[in-house]
Structure 1
Amino acid sequence: MDILLISHGPFCNGIKKSLEMISGNMENVTSEEFKPGQNPSDFRNILAKRVEDLYNPEKGLIVMCDLKGGTPYNTILYLVKDYPKLKIITGMN
């Protein structure tokens, strides 16, 4: 099962690097950051493409997010309706 890490700024990239420092290369874990000043609709388009590429209808997809209620969370919540086996976990740290 693939895991997508999303966050405000590069936090998700740092989490991924820390995981790889402990466990080695993690090919099934990717990250996508909401950059400072980025338009939320642009982020939605980027995230929609990333989810489309990663989603497997048999296995599903886990999306871990930094903060419930923020732009990354709200964006993935908007997309979840099209992916029945997409699971969101908030409070990533």
Structure 2
Amino acid sequence: MKYLILVSHGDFAKGLKNSLAMFAEDKMDSVIATGLQNGKSVDDFASEFRQAISALTAEDQVVVLADIVGGSPLTTACDILEEKGLLSSATILGGMNLPMAITSVMMKDVLDGTDFVQAVLPEASAALQEFKIQSEESDDDDI
């Protein structure tokens, strides 16, 4: 099976999973979310992450989305995925947002490798934009 793993600082990953369920409720059995909680150590997070992925086997595949590339949650998750023999086949992306998670959960079983990444990253990037409200100006303003 292929799993989507969300890792973050704080409850961001868990909140994102909750929001993701609004769009892909039927796929939540393959989504795992965990975060490094404020005041907890990396060792605490490692223990929680090990527990969260305990059912995964070397035959499973994972897509990992993280809030920050190089952050403790991601680097710790990678270390543990390596221990379980899952890192070499993993796809790992940082800077997660809801559009990225939606595309990932929908495409993880359809695309692999570069094709998967090329489908997901543009969706994540396209979501980053300023929202401007256009006001209607009436012609009477010119008088």
TM-score range, shorter chain: 0.7 to 0.9
Matches within 5 A, 1:1-93: 1-25=2-26, 26-53=28-55, 55-86=56-87, 87=90, 88-93=92-97
Q: Secondary structure at the match of 2:14?
A: helix
Ranges in structure 1 where 5+ consecutive residues have no aligned partner: none
Q: Provide Cα deviations, 1:10-53, integer angstroms capped at 9, x if missing partner.
A: 11112111111122241111211110011111111221232332
Larger radius of gyration: 2
Question: More relative contact order in 1 or in 2 (CA 8 Å, sep 6+)?
Answer: 1
How many angstroms does 1:91 deviate by?
1.6
* Greater share of helix: 2
Q: Distance in 2 between matches of 1:89 and 1:24?
A: 22
Report which of the two has the higher share of strand. Answer: 1
Query: CA RMSD, aligned part only?
Result: 1.7
TM-score (normalizing by structure 2):
0.57
Equivalent pairs counted in the alignment come to: 92
Question: Identity over the aligned pairs, expressed in percent?
Answer: 29
Tell me the distance in 2 between the aligned counterparts of 1:36 and 1:91: 19
The runs of 5 or more residues in structure 2 that have no matched partner are: 98-143
Give me the TM-score of the superposition, normalised by structure 1: 0.82
